[in-house]
Amino acid sequence: MIKNLFLYNSLIGEKVKFEPIASNNVGIYVCGPTVYSEVHLGNCRTFISFDVIVRYLKFLGYNVRYVRNITDAGHLENDADFGEDKISKKAKIEQLEPMEIVQKYTLDFHNVMSLFNTLPPSIEPTATGHIIEQIEMIKSIIKNGYAYEVNGSVYFDVKKYINDGYQYGKLSGRDIDELISGSRDLQGQQEKKNPSDFALWKNASKQHIMKWPSPWGTGFPGWHLECSAMGAKYLGDQIDIHGGGMDLKFPHHECEIAQGVSANNVDPVKYWMHANMLTLNGKRMSKSTGNTLLPEEIFSGENEILKKAFSPLVVRFFMLQAHYRSVLDFSSVALSASEKGFNKLMEAKKVLSNVKFVQKNINTELDSQIVNLIEACYKHMNDDFNTPQTIATLFELVSIVNTCNNANSFGEISKETFIYLQKTMNGFILDVLGLDNLDSQSNDKSAQLVELMLSIRNEAKNNKNYALSDQIRNQLNEIGITIKDGKEGTTYSIT
């Protein structure tokens, strides 16, 4: 298959043709969560966005190695270089070992990711598991002259890096002079040559819980370093795609570029991709401001924003109806609208899977219309993973499927196109968008039971005992089973 994928490289701010460094193999690194509390829905959006990106790369036939880290050390509060370690802080609050915190919230994260039907990464490295690699990387940076040691801490020398002709601030569009002469005056900053320098290694005080030995004394690695070290270890000195939330552009990703360049003398990333924020009440979701919703609160309906519970896949679908680079605002009405659309899409997929194909006279106009729409699905995904347009195109196919189903006229499509249509609908809905059918939750016995109820209802209907038939319909409806009387008999769907 000829691949014609274009993606938006946030480093240069343009859509460019995607060409992997090593032929058909793609390495992708996505910054994972800091596991010091439950992931909120905003975090999830980023991971769902990149899940679709990984899925589509695989769908196109690329060999994908997907690395997403777990930050379990080094991520500091308030200020990147002088705050308290987030994990340690939480450990004190909850009176647990730091690694108990890490374990607890890693499990929570995995559970939520699985509910959202995201694929697990190929490798999920942790910062604490790669202290040696991080120390080695710092050594390289020092050796190359871009870092210096002060009182057991090591800082990156931004000014030297810039003076040597490298661009620091390009990714985030920051002004270099402003960065060098940054005026913030924070406690402990006097250790740095320059306020914009950032920590690669921090000396640990006696009370500090999470610390490791190093050539510069006992301490812990800086947050920006882990992604550089682990990315290089598993995906090479230059990675095809590096992704993360928009908010990580500065300083995190900017620092990663500087670290990669100064350690390995190569631009560490070929394509930078950034997913946009999820907002709530018009403001970005954020743990520190408390403007958040937890996934569990949505699935259970126990929150003040939503009127009812929503399933994880409906939330996923809702997110995919917006482009990953756009801000998306979360609201109850928007989610309800998505839920209905989601059910409509799934229902049509089911119809298409179950239909018995009998060839009739071919309607060439209809046939080519379907082929065009199928090709449009690829076209839109190839255009920087435009899921909303792809979904819109799928809905046009849904309309055709329903029309053919009503008129019993699938046979007017050529057999070849019909199979192509089935494969495309299933492929895009299940494999690319990752929307599994909720009906799979029901088991054989409950299905038999519903069939039994329907046959009793049918008998009542034939006897014009509508009181009974309507009672059965209403009561089934109350437990979430919707009855539809069609020409070909009665069907039902579970919501």
Partner RNA sequence: GGUCUCGUGGCCGAGUGGCUAGGCAGUGGUCUGCAAAACCAUCUACAUCGGUUCGAAUCCGAUCGAGACCUCCA
User: Toward RNA, which CB reaches closer, 267 or 383?
Assistant: 383
User: Toward RNA, which CB reaches closer, 402 or 426?
Assistant: 402
User: What is the 8-class DSSP label of residue 95?
Assistant: T
Stretch that binds RNA, among 155-163, 284-292, 295-303, 439-447 (CB under 7 A): 284-292
Q: Residue 14, interface with RNA (CB under 7 A)? A: no
DSSP for 122-144, please give it.
SB--BSGGGHHHHHHHHHHHHHT
Residue 57 and residue 64: Cα distance in Å, rounded? 7
Q: Residue 434, interface with RNA (CB under 7 A)? A: no
Stretch that binds RNA, among 156-164, 207-215, 330-338, 360-368 (CB under 7 A): 330-338
Q: Residue 200, interface with RNA (CB under 7 A)? A: no
Quick one: which of 267, 259, 280, 265 has its CA closest to 240? 267
The token duo for 491 is 């069907």
The least distance separating RNA from the CB of residue 143, rounded to whole angstroms, comes to 26
Residue 155 and residue 222: Cα distance in Å, rounded? 9
Q: What angle do CA 89, 91, 93 make, to 5 degrees?
A: 75
The residue within the footprint of RNA, chosen from 336, 369, 409, 426 (CB under 7 A), is 336
Residue 346 and residue 2: Cα distance in Å, rounded? 29
Q: What angle do CA 298, 296, 67 make, to 5 degrees?
A: 110
Q: Residue 408, interface with RNA (CB under 7 A)? A: no
The least distance separating RNA from the CB of residue 63, rounded to whole angstroms, comes to 25
Q: Scanning the structure block, which residue is given the tokens 């249509």?
A: 421
SS3 57: helix
Quick one: which of 67, 63, 83, 48 has its CA closest to 295? 48
* Contacts of RNA in 294-313 (CB under 7 A): none
H helices then E strands: how many in the chain? 16, 15
Q: Residue 68, interface with RNA (CB under 7 A)? A: no
Q: In this structure, are residues 18 and 5 in contact, taking their beta carbons and an 8 Å threshold?
A: yes
The residue within the footprint of RNA, chosen from 96, 334, 371, 450 (CB under 7 A), is 334
* Contacts of RNA in 444-483 (CB under 7 A): 461, 466, 469-470, 473, 482-483
CA atoms within 13 A on the CB side of 189: 12
Residue 117 and residue 128: Cα distance in Å, rounded? 27
Q: Residue 10, interface with RNA (CB under 7 A)? A: no
* Contacts of RNA in 220-249 (CB under 7 A): 223, 244-249
Q: Residue 22, interface with RNA (CB under 7 A)? A: no
Q: Residue 321, interface with RNA (CB under 7 A)? A: yes
Q: Residue 402, interface with RNA (CB under 7 A)? A: yes
User: Toward RNA, which CB reaches closer, 142 or 398?
Assistant: 398
User: Toward RNA, which CB reaches closer, 263 or 345?
Assistant: 345
DSSP for 289-311, please give it.
TTB---HHHHHH--SSS-SS---
Residue 461 and residue 285: Cα distance in Å, rounded? 52
Q: Residue 188, interface with RNA (CB under 7 A)? A: no
User: Toward RNA, which CB reaches closer, 40 or 316?
Assistant: 40
Residue 313 and residue 453: Cα distance in Å, rounded? 29
CA end-to-end span of the chain? 38
Q: Residue 12, interface with RNA (CB under 7 A)? A: no
Size of the site for RNA (CB under 7 A): 88
The least distance separating RNA from the CB of residue 43, rounded to whole angstroms, comes to 4
The amino acid occupying position 3 is K
The least distance separating RNA from the CB of residue 284, rounded to whole angstroms, comes to 4
The least distance separating RNA from the CB of residue 24, rounded to whole angstroms, comes to 27
CA atoms within 13 A on the CB side of 305: 22
The mark string for 48-67 relative to RNA (x by CB under 7 A, - otherwise) is: --------------------
The residue within the footprint of RNA, chosen from 24, 25, 63, 78 (CB under 7 A), is 78
* Contacts of RNA in 134-153 (CB under 7 A): none
* Contacts of RNA in 85-124 (CB under 7 A): 86
Question: What sign for the dihedral angle of Cα 337, 339, 341, 344?
Answer: negative
Q: Residue 331, interface with RNA (CB under 7 A)? A: yes
The residue within the footprint of RNA, chosen from 142, 199, 278, 429 (CB under 7 A), is 278
The residue within the footprint of RNA, chosen from 99, 208, 485, 494 (CB under 7 A), is 485
The least distance separating RNA from the CB of residue 5, rounded to whole angstroms, comes to 15
User: Toward RNA, which CB reaches closer, 264 or 390?
Assistant: 390
* Contacts of RNA in 154-173 (CB under 7 A): 172-173
The least distance separating RNA from the CB of residue 215, rounded to whole angstroms, comes to 25
Residue 280 and residue 157: Cα distance in Å, rounded? 38
